[in-house]
Amino acid sequence: MKKTTRILFALAALLVLGACSAEPAAQHEFDEAKYFQKITAKMSLEHGYLRLDYTLGVPNQSMTFLLKNQDVSVVSVNEWYMNETDNIRLYYAFCEPGKSGEIKEDAWQLAWPDVKPGETIRQKSRPRRSALVLQPNNSALIDVPLTFLEHAEPPKRKARYTVALCAQIALNTLQTKSEVFEITVFPQTKDVEIE
């Protein structure tokens, strides 16, 4: 009985020690450049329905953008962040009605993500991603908070303001930008000059 136990123990030790290898295992490194390839398909970024009652100083206002696949094939955006607002940058500038095309490059300010003056856009060290797959002629909706309306300071007091907006996808593999468009924003108080 002792001899059988010793033989079984020796066989088990051989199996365990034989399974171990002195050679280093092949490294499984993630090749980000290979996985996150540039997207060449025709894509567009458009604003959704525009509200008529945007107001300065009021929290919890938002706008919806549509990232649309205008190509004839399926598009997979592997670099897409799970938190959809991390995928977009929104810029704004005050202007006169119909004059958004005349805004100088340095007049645009970052509206989203909401960054205080002097701060930089911070990302988590390992942001969570989930590939976005768009069939031809389909869209992904991206809700963007308009937090800049809570603290924006217009150049002068008026009964209403025209704000030009432009959105851009914030990914390295997808360079899509919306057209510049205008929204009307009303002041929160009623004691304003009427033009």
Is residue 179 situated within a structural domain?
Answer: yes
pLDDT of residue 125: 54
- Write out the E strands in the chain: 43-47, 54-55, 62-69, 75-77, 88-95, 109-112, 132-134, 139-145, 161-169, 181-186
Give the tens place of pLDDT for each residue, 17-57.
Answer: 655 555 554 555 656 656 788 999 999 999 988 887 799 98
28 occurs within a structural domain:
no
What is the total count of domains within the chain? 1
- What is the reported pLDDT for 155? 81
pLDDT of 142 reads 95
Would 188 be classed as within a structural domain? yes
Amino acid 95: pLDDT: 92
Whole-model pTM?
Answer: 0.75
